[in-house]
Structure 1
Amino acid sequence: MPVKHPRVAVLLAAYNGMRWIEEQLASILSQSAVDVTVCISIDPSTDGTEDWCTAYAVAHPNVIVLPKVGKFGGAARNFFRLIRDVDLAPYDFIAFADQDDIWHADKLQRATGMIVSRHVDAYSSNVTAFWPDGRTQLLDKAQPQVAWDYLFEAAGPGCSYVMSQPFAQTLKTSMLANWHALQAVSLHDWYIYAFARSHGYHWYIDPLPSIEYRQHEHNQVGANAGFLSLLSRFKTIHDGWWFTQVKTIALLVGQEDDPFVKSWLPLRRRQLFKLSLSASQCRRRTRDKVFFFCICWATALLGNKAQ
C-alpha cells in the first residue's frame, strides 16, 4: 500500500555551489506530500559553500551536513560517500540531488508513487535542460529499456534517481564490499543503473520531466545536446575512458562470465566488430544505436587507449 507521507532521504553532493544551492534546496524542501530529510556532503570548496550549508542546516532541522572527510575530486565519489555514511534505515525512499537544479514541486510524490504503483525498485525521469541565455530542451531518456543498455549508459541524469529503501540497502552492502574497486567508477548513475538491472531489480524511466536541469560551464557531464557535446563524447571514447568504464562496471556488477559479455570484453578488433552487431540491444535511443555501431567500428579500426 502507498505510504501516505513517505520519508525520503535526499542525498545532495555539493562543490562550489553558492550560486545555485539555495534555490535548489528551496525546491527540495517544498516537495509535496513527502517528508524530506536532506543530507549534504561537500567536496572542499573555495566559495563559502561549507559555511553557508552549515548555517542553513542550523536553521532547518531536516537538513544535515555530513562531517568533512577530505577531497573527493568528483561527484561520483561524493555520492558513493553519501550512500556509505548516511543511515538509510529510517527512510522509505532514497533520492539523489545535484546542487544546481530546480525540482518540480511534485517530483518526489510522483517518483515514490510510481515505484509503488508499478511495483519497481527504482525510478528516473526525463529532465528539461536550461541555459543562462533562456534556451530549454527536453532530454528524453525514456525509450524502452533493452537487454544490455545498462552496461553502456545510465537511466538518465542521476539527479532524477529515486530508489526504494530495500534496493538502496542492497546496493550499499555491495558497494561496501567492493569499495576499493568502486573508486574507479566515474559516473555513479551509470553504475547504479547497471547494478539494478544486472541483479534483477526493476527500473522505471518516466517520460514526464521532473527537474529543470541547469546547464553551465561547471557541469561535470551536462546535457548530451548538439554537435559539440557529441564531439566531446567521441573524444572520451577515443581516449579510452568510455570503454574502460564499460569494462570496470561490467566486472563490478558481476557480468564478466555472461556469454554475451565474454564475447566482447577483451575489446580487441574482432570483438568490437562483433559487438557492433548488437547495437540495437546496447542503447535505448535510435540515434544512440547508430552512434554505438559506428563507434565500435571506428574504435576497431583506429584503436583506443583502453585496449
Structure 2
Amino acid sequence: MVTVVMSVYNGTRYLTEQLDSLRLQTASPDRVLIADDCSTDGSFDLIGEYIEKHGLDNWTIYKNSSNFGWRMSFKRLLDLASIDDGIVFPCDQDDIWKPDKIAVMSSIIEKDPSIDVLCCAVEPFYENGGKKVTVYGAVDNSRPLDDLEAPVFDSKFMSVRRPGCSYAVKSDFIREIMPYWQDDFAHDGMLWRFSLLKGTLRLLNQPLIRFRRHDSNATEMRHIDKKSRVAEIGMCLRFSKALEEYCIDNPGDYRASSECIEHFETVLDARLHLLEGGLKLNNLGTILKYRKYHLSNRSLLGDLKALITSGDSK
C-alpha cells in the first residue's frame, strides 16, 4: 500500500502542477489523502473538481473542522495513513514531483528492511521573486546520485537536513513514534530525528522533486524577539524529552545518543535562563562549553540580541 498525504492551505497558485505530477507518476499511489486546512481561496473546490475530472476514485479530499495549521494537519494525515501497512509519502502543495519519485523510493525501501525513512535530494527552483536560500537536501556533487547515506546521531541531531516533502516512510514506524508526537511538532522533525535515533534513516542523493521557492513558502521565520526565542527553546526541550522517553521505552543501546540529548538539554536550559534571568556569566560559560550542540553558530548572538533589545539585560 502506497499512500500520499497532502495538507493544503490557500494553494490555488501552484496546486494544479503538483496534482499533475502526482497523477502522472510511473508507479501510481494506491491512495491519495488530501486535507484542506480551511482555505479561503477555493483550494478545496479546485481539488474536488480535479479529482472528478480525472476520475481519481482512490483520491480523497476533506476539509479540516478548523484551521489546525500545517503541523497538526500533517500529523493527523500521517496517523490516518499509518493504519494500513505500507509506505507513506508526505507531499507539499507547491512542488513538482519527478515522474519516477514513488517508483524509485518505494523500490529502495522494499528491498531494504532496515530503512524506516528514506529522503531523496531536491532540485530547488525560484520564481516570482523567491528569495535565494540555502536548501538542505540539494544534490551533493561529491557523491554518486544513487549513493545511500546513513547519518549518525550526533551533536547536530536537531538539524533536519531534508524537507518533509522528500520523505518516504514506513507506516509501522509512524505508528511506533505516534505516542511521542505532540501537536506542535513538525512532521519532518519527528520522522527525521526518531529514525536518526534508531539508525533507520537513509539519504538518497538523487533529486526526485523540483522544490519550489517563492514569496509565500510556509517555512519558519526566525524571530529575534525574546518571547519567540523562549517559546522555540521550550519546544526543543519538549522534543528532546520525547526522544528520551523513546530511549527508555524501547530496546536498544542508546547510551551515546542519550549523552547527546543530555548535553543538548543542558545548553537549552542555560539559554533559557539567560533569556529569562538576564546576562549571567555561569549561563554564558555553560553555553560556550556545549556550543557544538547549538542549532547554529548564530544562536548565542541571537539570544544576546533578543535579550538586549528587550531591555532585560542585567
Matched, 1:193 2:189: no
Aligned to 2:58: 62
Using a 3 Å threshold, how does the CA distance of structure 1 residues 125 and 242 change in structure 2: closer, same or farther?
Answer: farther
Displacement after TM superposition at 1:239 (Å): 4.3
Displacement after TM superposition at 1:104 (Å): 0.4
TM-score by structure 2 length?
0.73
Q: Is the 8 A contact 2:3 2:88 kept in 1?
A: yes
Displacement after TM superposition at 1:132 (Å): 1.4
The amino acid that maps onto 2:242 is L
Instruction: Report the 3-state secondary structure (helix = DSSP H, G, I; strand = E; otherwise coil) of the residue aligned with 1:263.
Output: helix
Quote the Cα distance in structure 1 between the aligned partners of 2:134 and 2:122.
6
Matched, 1:273 2:288: yes
Runs of 4+ in 1 over 4 A off after TM superposition: 133-138, 236-239, 299-305
Aligned to 1:183: 183
Count of residue pairs the alignment pairs up? 268
Alignment map for 1:94-173 (pairs within 5 Å): 94-118=88-112, 119-132=114-127, 139-141=135-137, 145-148=151-154, 151-172=157-178
Matched, 1:202 2:208: no
Using a 3 Å threshold, how does the CA distance of structure 1 residues 244 and 104 change in structure 2: closer, same or farther?
Answer: same
Matched, 1:211 2:209: yes
Instruction: Report the 3-state secondary structure (helix = DSSP H, G, I; strand = E; otherwise coil) of the residue aligned with 2:265.
Output: coil
**Quick check: 240-249 or 129-138, which moved more?**
129-138
Aligned to 1:76: 71
The amino acid that maps onto 2:166 is S
TM-score by structure 1 length?
0.75
Using a 3 Å threshold, how does the CA distance of structure 1 residues 87 and 145 change in structure 2: closer, same or farther?
Answer: closer
Q: Is the 8 A contact 1:237 1:243 kept in 2?
A: no
Aligned to 1:298: 301
Give identity over the alignment, percent: 22
Using a 3 Å threshold, how does the CA distance of structure 1 residues 54 and 236 change in structure 2: closer, same or farther?
Answer: farther
Quote the Cα distance in structure 1 between the aligned partners of 2:225 and 2:99.
36
Instruction: Report the 3-state secondary structure (helix = DSSP H, G, I; strand = E; otherwise coil) of the residue aligned with 1:273.
Output: helix
Q: Is the 8 A contact 1:154 1:191 kept in 2?
A: no
Aligned to 1:246: 236
Q: Is the 8 A contact 2:101 2:209 kept in 1?
A: yes
Q: Which has the larger radius of gyration?
A: 2
Q: For residues 265-288 of structure 1, what are the alpha-carbon distances to aligned partners after superposition, in whole Å with 9 as ceiling and x for unaligned?
A: 142123322221x35xx77xxxxx
| Structure 1: gaps of 5 or more residues | 1-6, 223-231, 284-291
Q: What is the aligned-residue RMSD (CA, Å)? A: 3.2
Alignment map for 1:36-51 (pairs within 5 Å): 36-51=30-45
